Structure 1
Amino acid sequence: MKIFSGWHRFIFGLLLLFILIHMYSVMDMYKNSKMEVPHKQLNKKLDHLILGPAAGKGLSNRLQCEGTKALNRTHASNSGLSLDESIAFVTVFTIYNSSLNNVNDKSSSTVVGNASYNKVDRSMAVLNAFINFIQVAMPQSKLFIVTDPVSDLSVHRNRVSLYPIDGEYSRDKLMLQRIRSYIIFLETKLQKLHQKPRNITHYIFTDSDIAVVDDLGHIFSDHPNFDLALTFRNNKAQPLNSGFIAVRGTPDSILRAKLFLQEVLKIYSSKYLKASRMLGDQLALAWVVKSKPHFDASRFAKPQAFSEDISGTSVLFLPCALYNWTPPEGAGQFHGMPLDVKVVHFKGSRKRLMLESWNFFSSSTDIEDMLCLILGSGRTKYDF
């Protein structure tokens, strides 16, 4: 028994020695492989636009691209406006004091291409890209930036004006304040029209993270009878998106649009105040529209424009697929991009793609528009 016990210990020792030698070899190989490619970082976030195949290839109702060239997009729209008509864009934008306190905080910086942005720089870069897109697509239009009077905001751009309106611009109340600001803005414009009638200026209220990629004047010429226009999508709970609202610039239409938005504000404040930071305005819009007796909500399922009288206001419903299209994360995924998109909405982290697309477009001389850039983005998720 003693001989067997000694032999057993010898075999166990050899086995243990073999395991240790093998582990050392594996660790040494792994160490050497890291030394050979020290620059390789598997988890490194991409900081620039990567173009890949554009989704929707072969589908007749989707944009077809060859590289960055659109193959089946129609020519840019003519505005169709008369000489005494013009368009002004209106957006609500402010800079928070907490952001100003962290302008030198490197932990909050974001790299896009060759540029690094802190929180304030990031917001201003998006605002400037928003202005750039408008001025390329609609160079004769004006832009009003509605802001908190105490906000340290400075913008020096042609045809761009700051429009201070008192109110609560905190993050928790911004969406609620936005509706209030729209109402005050319309009231002011209506008073000026009554005092001194002048040429007609139509207004398009938008978020500041959109890109206008075509002339939108045709909305007012092709649909001459609406007072206010909203964009819709096939979403049962939130069929209406508040990021794009158009108002005809006649006194009667401005008045009706103001009354409509006042009703939205009333519902927002009474029913959806808990959602004041986000979605409350969209829920209130849907409630006001759907509360009309016999309103056919099934029309939201088809991306075709239609009109309805809502409490005395003629409301034009425009499909988000054309006038408020949002790229899926990964941009070119799903079923591609609808034909003839006019407005691209870079919600949330997609703002990075907005900056990338503008930078790429503005630095290239052979790109007609940026839709194929957006569609061909190879990103699977944005990080902005």
Structure 2
Amino acid sequence: MAVPRPQIRALRRGTLLLFLVPLIYSVSRLQPWAPEKGVCLPPPTAPKRPDHLVLGPAAGQDRPDRLQCRGLRALNKIGISSEENYSGEHVSFATVFTTYNSVSAGDDNVPSDSVTVGNSSYSKIERSMAILNTFISFIKVSMPRSDLIILTDPGSKISVNQGTATLLPVEGNYSRGNLMLQRIKTYIAFLEQKLVEFDRMERLNHFVLTDSDIAVVGDLGHIFKKYPHFHLAVTFRNNKGQPLNSGFVAVRGTRDGITNAVEFLKQVLGTYSLRYMKASRMLGDQLALAWVVKSHLPSAFGKFSKNEAFTGEVNGTSVLFLPCAVYNWTPPEGAGQFHGVPLDVKVVHFKGSRKRLMLEAWNFYSSTSKLSDMLCLILRSGRTKYDF
């Protein structure tokens, strides 16, 4: 019987190793980082977020229903004159806002968390106030006839330009961990007060309850004119885990509309307190909102994949479901499917780390006075996580 020669065995072993080494290396790269036992090594540092805008390609350039950009110049017209676009409906905006203490460091008393946007530097508190003032500024451009109400903790120190907004203190627990829960309570208290004042109102006044990190770029009065029978409106997206966003709620200003909106929000508050307190700092309100809708109108969830508004009754309340793509559009962070800016967009929501982009967008608009060009800036900068 023939015996394999030693050099042939060695050759086979060498060939096998040539195949295995790249495979072992590739698999090792998939494993999460973990130090060996007994070895004290720091974990890998997260990449530093940019402190300036990073421009990328503009998505949606092959779609006729999306904003087309050439550099930072828009080839479509979005955001026509607010006077030409005025719906005739009076709308008041209300947002819940409070401030928290910021720690300073260093001999020169410059806050350690200071960031610079354009020619201005901001501490954490100043950053929040800059976002609030930018929120107000965008509304004054797109809907100059609107009123603005800042719902806040009575102990919060807030200063806004006189005549631009009204501060309305509402008692409650505005701590960070309780803020989302308190926001619903504050909205309810605000709307109940409007019911008390209803008979003294000189005109019909609709309400949009919203986050302060949004830019209104179109007249929202059309919602109340185009859909005349809803009590309350919320925005939806095709997301199984979080299909409804609580950052935009519209309330018809009739007695019936406000009354039903209060009852609806009380259902959301009860569900939040009963089921989602573990998510009280983040997402609890959105989970509770989705649970209430699913409990009374499960058929709504089958329509969220379509980018079309629709109405349905939720335990006696007529709810208008509006697509986030138009009324709560958010520049996505990172990679993934992204189809650009719809031509009929009305609201841009700068959630999460997009806060710098909101301030940069306002600075850009202030220098150009063109909302369409500003949207090109947002479109080309929206995938990056910034230092806010």
TM-score above 0.5: yes
Q: 1:335 aligns with which of 326, 339, 342?
A: 339
Counterpart residue type for residue 135 of structure 2: F
- Aligned in 2, Cα 1:234/1:364: closer, same or farther, shift over 3 Å? same
Alignment of 1:39-50 (within 5 A): 46-50=50-54
How far, CA to CA, are the matches of 2:69 and 2:111 in structure 1? 39
Report Cα offsets for 1:137-184 as digits up to 9, x if no partner: 001101000000011112124241001000000000000000000000
Aligned to 1:320: 324
Alignment of 1:56-135 (within 5 A): 56-73=60-77, 76=80, 78-81=85-88, 85-96=89-100, 98-99=101-102, 104-135=109-140
- TM-superposed CA distance for 1:114, in Å, is 2.5
Find the residue that maps to 1:63 and give its secondary structure: coil
Report Cα offsets for 1:342-365 as digits up to 9, x if no partner: 100000110010011111111235
How far, CA to CA, are the matches of 1:367 and 1:178 in structure 2? 30
- Aligned in 2, Cα 1:246/1:266: closer, same or farther, shift over 3 Å? same
Counterpart residue type for residue 99 of structure 1: S
Report Cα offsets for 1:8-36 as digits up to 9, x if no partner: xxxxxxxxxxxxxxxxxxxxxxxxxxxxx
- 8 Å Cα contact 1:49/1:378 also seen in 2: no
Aligned positions, number: 337
- TM-superposed CA distance for 1:68, in Å, is 2.8
TM-score (norm 2): 0.81
Q: 2:262 aligns with which of 258, 261, 264?
A: 258
Aligned to 1:143: 148
- Aligned in 2, Cα 1:294/1:320: closer, same or farther, shift over 3 Å? closer
Find the residue that maps to 2:91 and give its secondary structure: strand
- Aligned in 2, Cα 1:375/1:292: closer, same or farther, shift over 3 Å? same
- TM-superposed CA distance for 1:113, in Å, is 2.3
- 8 Å Cα contact 2:297/2:312 also seen in 1: no
Aligned to 2:195: 190
Counterpart residue type for residue 78 of structure 1: N
Counterpart residue type for residue 265 of structure 1: L
How far, CA to CA, are the matches of 2:296 and 2:221 in structure 1? 29
- TM-superposed CA distance for 1:238, in Å, is 1.2
Find the residue that maps to 1:336 and give its secondary structure: coil
Higher alpha-carbon Rg:
1
- 8 Å Cα contact 1:65/1:71 also seen in 2: yes
Counterpart residue type for residue 173 of structure 2: E
Find the residue that maps to 2:151 and give its secondary structure: strand
Tell me which moved more, 328-337 or 341-350. Answer: 328-337
- 8 Å Cα contact 2:103/2:112 also seen in 1: no
Where do 5+ consecutive residues of structure 1 fail to align?
1-42
How far, CA to CA, are the matches of 1:319 and 1:72 in structure 2? 21
- 8 Å Cα contact 1:63/1:338 also seen in 2: yes
How far, CA to CA, are the matches of 1:339 and 1:351 in structure 2? 23
- Aligned in 2, Cα 1:44/1:189: closer, same or farther, shift over 3 Å? closer
- Aligned in 2, Cα 1:186/1:232: closer, same or farther, shift over 3 Å? same
Asked if 1:156 is matched to 2:161, the reply is yes
Asked if 1:246 is matched to 2:253, the reply is no
- TM-superposed CA distance for 1:370, in Å, is 1.7
Find the residue that maps to 2:102 and give its secondary structure: helix
Asked if 1:203 is matched to 2:207, the reply is yes
- TM-superposed CA distance for 1:59, in Å, is 1.7
Aligned to 2:3: none
Counterpart residue type for residue 235 of structure 2: T
- Aligned in 2, Cα 1:332/1:109: closer, same or farther, shift over 3 Å? farther
- 8 Å Cα contact 1:78/1:217 also seen in 2: no
Counterpart residue type for residue 132 of structure 2: L
- Aligned in 2, Cα 1:125/1:155: closer, same or farther, shift over 3 Å? same
Where do 5+ consecutive residues of structure 2 fail to align?
1-46
